[in-house]
Amino acid sequence: MPLDHSVIGIESPPVERSWTSKDTLLYAVGVGAGLDDPLRDLAFTTENSHGIGQRVLPTFAVLAAQGGRGRSIGEFDPAMLVHAEQSFELHRPLPPAGTVRVTSKITGMYDKGSGALVTSEAVAVDPGTGDPVVTSRSAVFIRGEGGFGGDRGPRDSWPEPVRAPDHRITCPTRPEQALLYRLSGDRNPLHSDPAFAAKAGFERPILHGLCTYGVTGRALLHTLAESEPSRFVSMSGRFSRPLHPGESLTVSIWRDGDTAQFRTTKADGTVVIDRGRAAVRGAGGPGA
pLDDT, position 143: 87
Say if 287 falls within a structural domain. Answer: no
Its pTM stands at 0.93
What strands, in cross-sheet order, belong to the sheet with 167-171?
Answer: 15-19, 98-111, 115-125, 132-143, 81-90, 232-239, 271-280, 259-266, 249-256, 167-171
Residue 31: what are its φ and ψ, rounded to 5°? -105, 20
Answer yes or no: 36 catalytic: no
**Residue 285 within a domain:** no
Q: Does a structural domain hold residue 194?
A: yes
Give the domain extent around 169.
7-280
Q: Tell me, what's the pLDDT at 107?
A: 95
Catalytic residue among 41, 83, 186, 208: 186
Residue 1 lies in a domain: no
User: How many residues would you count in the chain?
Assistant: 288
Domain membership flag for residue 33: yes
**In the prediction, which pLDDT does 288 show?**
33
What is the Cα gyration radius of the chain?
Answer: 19
Cα–Cα distances in angstroms (integers) from residue 27 to residues 21, 46, 260, 272, in the given order: 10, 12, 25, 21
* Choice among 23, 41, 111, 191 that is catalytic: 191
Round to whole Å and give the CA distance between 48 and 40. 15
| 244 is a catalytic site residue | no
pLDDT digit of tens for each residue in the chain (288 aa)? 588 888 999 999 999 999 999 999 999 999 999 998 899 899 999 999 999 999 999 999 999 999 756 668 888 888 788 889 999 999 999 999 999 999 999 999 999 988 899 999 999 999 999 999 999 999 999 988 888 887 788 887 888 899 999 999 999 999 999 999 999 999 999 999 999 999 888 999 999 999 999 999 999 999 999 999 999 999 999 999 999 999 999 999 999 999 999 999 999 999 999 999 999 998 643 333
pLDDT at 69: 62
Q: What is the CATH number of the domain that holds 194?
A: 3.10.129.10
Q: Are 32 and 221 in contact (CB under 8 A)?
A: no
What is the C-alpha separation between 185 and 214, in angstroms, rounded? 14
DSSP per residue, 156-215: PP-PPP-S--SEEEEE---TTHHHHHGGGS---GGGT-HHHHHHTT-SS----HHHHHHH
Total tally of structural domains belonging to the chain? 1
Q: CB atoms < 10 A from the CB of 127, how many?
A: 17
Query: What residues have CB less than 8 Å from 116, skipping those under 6 apart?
Result: 3, 109, 110, 141, 142, 145, 146, 148
Distances (CA, A) of 210 to 112, 141, 179, 215: 23, 15, 13, 9
pLDDT score, position 270: 97
